[in-house]
Amino acid sequence: MSGWSRTLFARVVLILLVWLIAAQGLAYWVVMQERSLAVGSMMIDYAAKDIAGAVALLERLPAGERPAWLPKLDRANYRYSLAPTPSTATPDTAFTRAVLAALRAALEPMHDVVMRGNDAGPQVGLQLQDGTPLTIALAPPRMRVSVWLPLALLVQLAILLAFAWFAVRLATRPLARLAAAADAFGSRGSAAPLPENGPTEVAHTAAAFNAMQRRIVEQMSERLRILGAVSHDLQTPITRMRLRVELLDAGSVRERLLSDLHAMQSLVEEGLAYAHSAHAVEEGERAVDLHALLDSISCDYADAGSQVRLNPSVGATVVTRPNALRRIVVNLVDNALKFGGDVEIELRAGPGRPPTIAVLDRGPGIPEAELESVFEPFHRLESSRNRDTGGTGLGLAIARNLAHSIGAGISLSNRSSGGLEALITLPPAEAS
């Protein structure tokens, strides 16, 4: 199914359209059946009287003049001929039975009426008073439909479809607003409250969503305050412990203790950064030159002695939150440096495609089954991440949180030539 036909609006409209067409077709069929029965009944009564009159006229005419009068007596549904009726079987249908009964009631006992049938249709046979055979070839009544009837039905169907389209759109519009608000809340951490009006069910749903949004925002803010307080309270004892450990004599125990304290400090800082990443929407958006941003990042790493280079690329300008985007790229580059060594940054942009930033390394890569789970907080790969690397398992989780906050996508894939590719797909809207 296409994307349009997957929507609730499209499916309901299609269901109503099929129902309307079926209802129109059924109504048309019923009307035509009733009309056919009425016309058939009227035609049989009229035909019986008309044939009886024609037989009486033919009997009063001289035998030589009868053939000239036959065309004048013919009708659209029956024709006369002065010929014997073929000896074929008697047709047995509701139409032929009704015609035979009506003709016998009009002509007998003066004339013996028989009914015969062939490929051309039913035929009525009798003999005039002088013994001349007379055959009347019958045809079922033909229904004629006015030329304006199909047009009227199409206009009626179009009017009904227009009202159905308007009704379905009116009914599904609150769902679209709810979906847009949910997407905005998921990517930006907050969204404008939905209007709590309209039908009772819609108003209740909007009120429930607004209440849920307020509770989630309050809980997230409370979590940030708790993590900030814990981080602040932990830094003081960690600092005191480091000072005391540094007073110890040099040795393996002192170095291990300092390493553990450094790991604790990193974990506290990364935990606080992860909490802040969910609130990156507080930063304002502005136009950003992606090439200049990536060039400054690569130069900072080069100044620090790291093997990070920016591959030649075309420039691109987007409207985004620059600090959040910088943190995403830095986290991906740090991750690549830990496990891949040599790192390349590429900016891929062009007409008709959203700008993307690729961070490439030449490390061992990640098992395919783990490419998604590594974005979970505190997730580690035993084959590559250990305490010696200093990883906390939060770098990629922070990057994904920040990517969601700016409406970007982030994914990992193994390179065919070896190593890992981290891809940031930015929103397609560019700055004017």
- d(CA 372, CA 358) in angstroms, rounded, equals 17
* Predicted confidence band of residue 116 (pLDDT cuts 50, 70, 90): confident
Per-residue pLDDT for 182 more than 80?
Answer: no
* 93-104 per-position pLDDT tens digit: 777 888 888 888
CA distance 27 to 137: 33
Out of 118, 138, 158, a domain closes at 138
On whether residue 158 sits in a domain, the answer given is: no
Higher pLDDT, 115 or 251: 115
Taking residues 325-349, report their average pLDDT.
88
Residue range 191-200: average pLDDT?
Answer: 77
pLDDT at 142 (0 to 100): 65
CA atoms in the 13 A half-sphere facing the CB of 269: 9
pLDDT of residue 359: 93
Identify the top-confidence range among 88-92, 290-294, 376-380.
290-294
Average pLDDT over residues 284-289: 86
Q: What's the CA gap between 408 and 345, in Å, rounded? A: 17
- Looking at the chain, the whole-number percentage of residues with pLDDT higher than 70 is 84
In a domain, 260, yes or no: no
Q: Tell me the average pLDDT across 338-358.
A: 86
Residue 20: which CATH number? 3.30.450
Q: Is residue 161 part of a domain?
A: no
Question: Among 218-222, 310-314, 330-334, 421-425, which stretch is predicted with the lowest mean pLDDT?
Answer: 218-222
8 Å CB contact between 316 and 357: no
State the pLDDT confidence band at 2, using cuts at 50, 70 and 90.
low
Structural domains counted in the chain: 2
Confidence of residue 432 (pLDDT cuts 50, 70, 90): very low
Computed over every residue of the chain, the mean pLDDT equals 80
Question: Phi and psi (nearest 5°) for 426?
Answer: -85, 160
* Range among 81-85, 191-195, 218-222, 386-390 with highest mean pLDDT value: 81-85
pLDDT (average), residues 40-55: 81
For residue 343, the model assigns a pLDDT of 92
Query: What was the pLDDT predicted at 387?
Result: 46
Give the model's pLDDT for residue 358.
93
The answer, yes or no, to whether the previous bond of 109 is cis (omega within 30 of 0) is yes
Q: Which of these, 129, 119, 136, lies nearest to 56 by C-alpha position? A: 129
Q: Is residue 361 part of a domain?
A: yes
**Amino acid 347: pLDDT:** 92
Report yes or no on 192 lying in a domain: no
How large a percentage of the chain has pLDDT more than 90? 9
Between 57 and 232, residue with greater pLDDT: 57
| Three-state secondary-structure class, residue 125 | strand
> Which stretch of 128-137, 246-255, 376-385 has the lowest confidence by average pLDDT?
376-385
Where residue 88 falls (left for φ over 0; alpha for ψ -120 to 50; beta otherwise) is beta
pLDDT greater than 70 at residue 249 = yes
Closest to 292 in 3D by CA, of 274, 267, 262, 314: 314
Of 91, 110, 138, the position where a domain reaches its end is 138
Structural domain includes residue 296:
yes
Q: What pLDDT, on a 0 to 100 scale, did the predictor assign at position 143?
A: 61
pLDDT classification of 333: cutoffs 50, 70, 90:
very high
Residue 63 has pLDDT above 90, yes or no: no
Query: What number of CA atoms fall less than 13 Å from residue 185's CA on the CB side?
Result: 20
Average pLDDT of the segment spanning 280-297: 82
The residue out of 122, 138, 154 marking a domain boundary is 138
Q: Is residue 50 part of a domain?
A: yes
305 lies in some domain: yes
What CATH number is attached to the domain comprising 416? 3.30.565.10
- Higher-confidence position of 300 and 253: 300
Q: Is pLDDT above 70 for 381?
A: no
pLDDT number for residue 4: 56
Do the beta carbons of residue 291 and residue 347 sit within 8 Å? yes
Find the mean pLDDT for residues 268-292: 72
Residues spanned by the domain of 351: 281-425
Which residues partner with 353 through β-bridges?
Answer: 350
**Residue 36 vs residue 132, higher pLDDT:** 132
pLDDT at 319 over 80: yes
Question: With 50 as the cut, is the pLDDT of residue 383 above it?
Answer: no
pLDDT top residue among 271 and 64: 64
